Every structure is written in C-alpha cells, then in structure tokens.
Amino acid sequence: MASSSASTHAAVDGAAGTHSNLRCFLGSVTPVVKAHTFPMASYLPLSNGYYEKIADGVKAFYLGDLWNRFYEWSACGVGTSVCIAPGETVVQYFVPYLSAIQLYTNMTNVPTSQSMLYDGRFNQDNQYGALNWMDTHGYQAPSNMSTSGVESKGELFFKYFEPDSPYERIPFIDKVYDLCYGCPSLSSLSSAELSPSSWMSVFWYPTSRVPVKNQKDLNTCFLTYHTLSTCKDIVALDSVQAFNHMALAPFGLATYKLDAKVWASPNSGDQEHISSLFDAAQSWLKEHNIHHHDFNYFSQRYSSK
C-alpha cells in the first residue's frame, strides 16, 4: 500500500519543490481506475428533453472497478506522508466512509438500437426492484423511473446519503456491498452511462499513524467530492492517463478540526487551495440543490486559518 500511495503522489503532485501535506493527502485519496474504450455512442441530456451525441467511442470506467479501489483502503486505511516538523515525517492513515452518492443516467430517450448496447442493465423490472428495496431500507430514491419530464441533468437512478453519526458508520466498501446487494447496477454501471450530475462524497476519518511513538495530534477529518461521469471530460483525467487509467481527483473538499499549521504549508498556496476546493464543493451543492448533512456539519465548523 505504501508503494501505491507513493506512485499516486508522484502522478498527482508532480515534482513539487517542497513537501506539501495537503497535496500528499489529495494524491493518496485519489482513486486510479482502469479505463475502457466503449464503442457505443455517448449522449448528453439537453434542457429541451433531447439528447446530444458526444462521440462514437468514449473512455470510461466501471463503478465496480472504482469500488474495488476502496477494498484495501477500507480494511487498512489510506496512508499519507505528513511532515510535522523539519526532518520529522509520519504516515497518517485514514479510513474512508461513503458519505453521499447520486447517480443520474443519460440513457432516457436514447434510441432503441443504442440502448441494446448497454446489455439491458436498465430494464424496468430491475429499476423498480432496486427502488422498492431502497424504500424498504430507508434509503432515498426517486419515486418512479418514468421517461417523462426528464431534467437537463439526466434521470435520477440512485441516491443515498449516510444518516448515521461517524462513530456508527461502517467502512466504505462494506456500505457499497450492502447497497449493491439490492441494486447490482451500482457495480455494473459505467461512467459513460452517467450524466455529469453524478457524484459521490467520501468521509475520511484519521486512525493510526507510523511511527506510533509520535504524540502529535492529527485528528483532522476530510470530506472529498468526486464526479462519476466521463461525459465531456467532466472527470479530471489529466493526472494519470498512462497505461489506460483514469484518476478521479477530488473537485471539492471540506475539513473538520483542520490544523492549518499541519495541512497548509507556508508559502505553498495550500491554504488558498483548501479554500478553493471548499468553495467548489459549496457551489456544486448549491447549484444542484443538494442538502448534504456532512458538508453542513463540516462547514459550520470550517476555518482555513
């Protein structure tokens, strides 16, 4: 795991002149997934109810591959290098928890010949079965999956917001397995089938650190936001494209109990970057009219100083 984190740091952070704890963290929690070339055309929903054809072949990833990236992270935590004093560095581990996810499909009103290319994963029985299961278990989902009244952002297929307190949550991969049990499409969907309004948020809780003898209190929690669509290059793919892989770098960030002396290196631009990512997350939620409990809790206690 340490070597994997190091390679991600190098890819995301580049040849940084000085060590940045913030950039190391963002690099560590950036999932890198295998990219597939889809031969089918890709369509983007428009405000008038029609669809715009984007391309005949698109690069995308399967959600199942993304969830697999969280398997080891959920079990062992994600290690990130933190410089706490000149010449003194520790590896701080964070355990991921699924905070929220919304999936919007861009398949409604797609021609029949095009729908066939998606292997029938969105047949009506499967849709309603998933919704009934989520309603029974208290999860939030659209009341129907009809093809009328399509919004420009696509059609809402799945929505889940974690209601439990951080101390009562189960690790990311366990929650995803739980959700996939009633809705298998959560693993078979590809990013090409999702509209740009699709996103997820991950709550990162600090756990152990190496060496353990250090008494520095690193109790900052992070909330990262990631887009789940590859329509119109909405996902940040510029970081890691070698060997047909994609990097889903966070587009937004919120912090809790932020120690700016640790996570914002002087004269590095880290403090401005934290503020910029926070504003991006806030703007995203406001633009899409999303009430995200974790973000509201973090923002009430947010300070970049």
In the beta sheet, which residues pair with residue 224? 202, 253
* Rounded Cα distance, 245 and 3, in Å: 17
What are the residues whose beta carbons fall under 8 Å from the beta carbon of 47, sequence distance 6 or more? Answer: 152
Please answer whether residues 246 and 221 qualify as being in contact, where contact means their C-beta atoms are separated by less than 8 angstroms: no
Please answer whether residues 100 and 200 qualify as being in contact, where contact means their C-beta atoms are separated by less than 8 angstroms: yes
* Rounded Cα distance, 33 and 60, in Å: 9
* Rounded Cα distance, 98 and 203, in Å: 6
The 8-class DSSP code of residue 151 comes to: B
**How much is the pTM?**
0.74
pLDDT confidence of residue 121: 28
Please answer whether residues 29 and 78 qualify as being in contact, where contact means their C-beta atoms are separated by less than 8 angstroms: yes
What tokens appear for 146 in the block? 């009809």
Please answer whether residues 202 and 171 qualify as being in contact, where contact means their C-beta atoms are separated by less than 8 angstroms: no
263: nearest Cα among 208, 203, 303: 303
CA atoms within 13 A on the CB side of 30: 30
Residue type, 10: A
| pLDDT tens, per residue, the chain with 305 residues | 444 444 334 333 333 346 789 999 999 999 999 988 766 555 555 666 656 555 556 678 999 999 999 999 999 999 999 888 888 888 999 999 999 999 998 754 332 222 222 222 222 222 322 332 233 333 332 322 222 233 457 788 899 999 888 888 999 999 999 999 888 889 999 898 899 999 999 999 998 877 665 555 678 999 999 999 887 544 444 444 445 888 999 999 999 989 888 898 777 789 899 999 999 999 999 999 999 999 999 988 655 44
The 8-class DSSP code of residue 164 comes to: S
